[in-house]
C-alpha cells in the first residue's frame, strides 16, 4: 500500500480562486421543460445528498434551487440527507430496488459510488464549463458546487484561531475537540487526507492522529452537527468545510474558519466539491437528468456564493456578491493541493482501517 496518498504539486489558493472566478466561456442553458419522465409519468425526483447545502431555516442553496426547479418543471424534489459514505452505503443496499435518482457526495465517495456501479453516465448541460479535474471523463459525475476543506473554532473562547496541528494536542482541547468519522463522513475522510499530506505520509499522520485522540470527543457520522456545538462553546475546534461553515456562520456569530498547518509550514487545503451523478436504474431517470441540468444552470450557479456560501462549479459564472469577496479574502495565503483521488478511492478501506487501529476507534 502506498505510503503517500497525495501526489500532485501544490498551488496557491488565491490563484485557484482567481481562476475559478475569472474564467470566461460560452454558457450553456437549462432545458426547463416539464415533459413527463419517470415510471408512470411521476412528477418527482429523489436526491440522496451529503449535508451542507440545505438549511434548517429553509434558506440554503438547495432550498432555493429545488423550489425554483419545482416551479419551472412541476417536478417535486424528495430529499434524503446524511454523510457522504452513509448515502453511498444506502444506495448500495437499495441496488435491487433503487430509490434515488440523483446522488451528491464529496470525494472520494462519488468515485466510490461509481466503483460500486451506482452511477449512469450523463453529461448535464453546462458541464462543458466545469474544470476537467472536477468531473468524470466518462460523464458519471460532475461537480455542482466547489468547496474547500477547513476547520472551525469558537471565536468567543479563543482569542485567535489555532495555527498548527500540533497546537491541538494542548490539554486545553481535551473534550473540546471533535472531527467527523473517516470513511463515514466526507469531511471526516478529508481530515485523514489532509493529515497525510501535511505530515508527509500515512505513518506520521496516523502517529499524530493517535496522539490527538486523547483530546477527541469521539465519532460523529455528520460534520454539520459539529458547527453548532462549536458556536455554543461545547467544542473549541472541529472539522468542516468552507461552504457549509461559511453559510452556518451567518447565524452562528462565534464560528470562525481556519486551516491547519504543520508546525513550520503553511496552511493548506484542497478542493472538496459537491459532486452529483445520475443513479443507474433510477425510478425517475429523465427527471434526474432535468435536475442535474438545473443544478448546473447559470441561474442556479449564480446563487452558489450569494445563497450557499460556496464556489460556483462553472468557470464562466463569476460572482461579485459580498459573500464571494469575503470568501476570496478568507482563502488568501492558503495553499491548495490536489489529492490523488484514484489512489484514495482504491485504498480507502485500508486507510480507514489503519486510522481505526491507530486511534482505537
Q: How confident is the model at residue 41 (pLDDT cuts 50, 70, 90)?
A: confident
pLDDT digits (tens, 9 = 90+) for 163-178: 999 999 999 999 999 9
pLDDT digits (tens, 9 = 90+) for 55-77: 988 999 999 999 999 999 999 99
pLDDT number for residue 182: 95
Which element (helix H / strand E) includes 271? none
pLDDT number for residue 109: 94
Strands 149-154 vs 255-258: parallel, antiparallel or unpaired:
antiparallel
User: In this structure, what C-alpha cell is assigned to residue 131?
Assistant: 474544470
Q: Assign residue 328 a region (left: φ > 0; alpha: ψ between -120 and 50; beta: otherwise).
A: alpha
Closest CA to 270 of 198, 175, 181: 198
Cα first-last separation, the chain: 21
Closest CA to 65 of 77, 56, 74, 57: 77
Q: How confident is the model at residue 39 (pLDDT cuts 50, 70, 90)?
A: low
Kindly state the average pLDDT of the residues 215-234.
95
pLDDT number for residue 14: 37
Kindly state the average pLDDT of the residues 311-332.
95
pLDDT digits (tens, 9 = 90+) for 98-155: 999 999 999 999 999 999 999 999 999 999 999 998 999 999 999 999 999 999 999 9
Q: What are phi and psi of 159, to 5 degrees?
A: -60, -35
Kindly state the average pLDDT of the residues 312-320.
96
Amino acid at each position: 500500500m502506498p505510503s503517500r496518498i497525495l501526489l500532485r504539486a501544490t498551488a496557491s489558493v488565491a490563484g485557484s480562486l482567481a481562476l475559478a472566478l475569472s474564467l470566461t466561456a460560452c454558457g450553456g442553458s437549462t432545458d426547463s421543460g416539464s415533459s413527463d419522465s419517470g415510471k408512470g409519468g411521476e412528477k418527482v425526483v429523489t436526491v440522496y445528498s451529503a449535508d451542507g447545502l440545505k438549511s434548517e431555516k429553509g434558506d440554503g442553496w438547495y432550498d432555493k434551487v429545488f423550489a425554483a426547479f419545482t416551479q419551472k418543471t412541476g417536478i417535486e424534489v424528495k430529499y434524503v440527507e446524511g454523510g457522504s459514505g452513509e448515502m453511498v452505503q444506502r444506495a448500495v443496499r437499495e441496488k435491487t430496488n433503487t430509490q434515488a435518482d440523483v446522488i451528491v457526495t464529496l470525494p472520494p465517495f462519488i468515485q466510490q459510488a461509481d466503483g460500486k456501479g451506482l452511477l449512469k453516465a450523463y453529461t448535464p448541460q453546462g458541464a462543458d464549463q466545469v474544470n476537467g479535474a472536477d468531473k468524470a471523463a466518462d460523464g458519471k459525475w460532475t461537480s455542482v458546487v466547489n468547496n474547500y476543506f477547513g476547520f472551525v473554532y469558537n471565536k468567543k473562547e479563543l482569542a485567535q484561531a489555532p495555527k498548527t496541528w500540533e497546537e491541538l494536542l494542548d490539554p486545553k482541547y481535551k473534550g473540546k475537540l471533535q472531527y467527523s468519522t473517516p470513511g463515514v463522513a466526507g469531511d471526516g475522510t478529508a481530515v485523514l487526507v489532509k493529515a497525510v499530506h501535511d505530515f508527509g505520509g500515512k505513518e506520521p499522520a496516523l502517529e499524530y492522529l493517535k496522539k490527538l485522540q486523547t483530546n477527541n470527543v469521539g465519532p460523529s457520522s455528520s460534520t454539520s452537527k459539529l458547527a453548532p456545538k462549536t458556536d455554543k462553546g461545547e467544542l473549541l475546534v472541529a472539522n468542516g468545510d468552507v461552504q457549509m461553515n461559511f453559510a452556518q456562520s451567518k447565524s452562528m456569530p462565534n464560528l470562525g474558519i481556519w486551516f491547519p498547518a504543520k508546525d513550520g509550514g503553511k496552511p493548506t487545503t484542497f478542493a472538496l466539491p459537491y459532486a452529483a451523478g445520475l443513479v443507474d436504474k433510477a425510478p425517475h431517470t429523465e427527471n434526474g437528468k432535468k435536475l442535474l441540468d438545473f443544478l448546473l444552470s447559470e441561474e442556479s450557479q449564480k446563487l452558489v456564493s450569494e445563497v450557499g456560501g460556496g464556489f460556483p462549479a462553472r468557470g464562466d459564472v463569476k460572482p461579485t456578491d459580498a459573500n464571494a469577496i469575503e470568501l476570496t479574502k478568507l482563502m488568501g495565503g492558503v495553499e491548495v493541493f490536489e489529492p490523488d483521488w484514484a489512489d484514495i478511492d482504491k485504498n480507502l478501506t485500508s486507510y480507514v482501517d489503519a486510522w481505526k487501529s491507530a486511534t482505537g476507534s
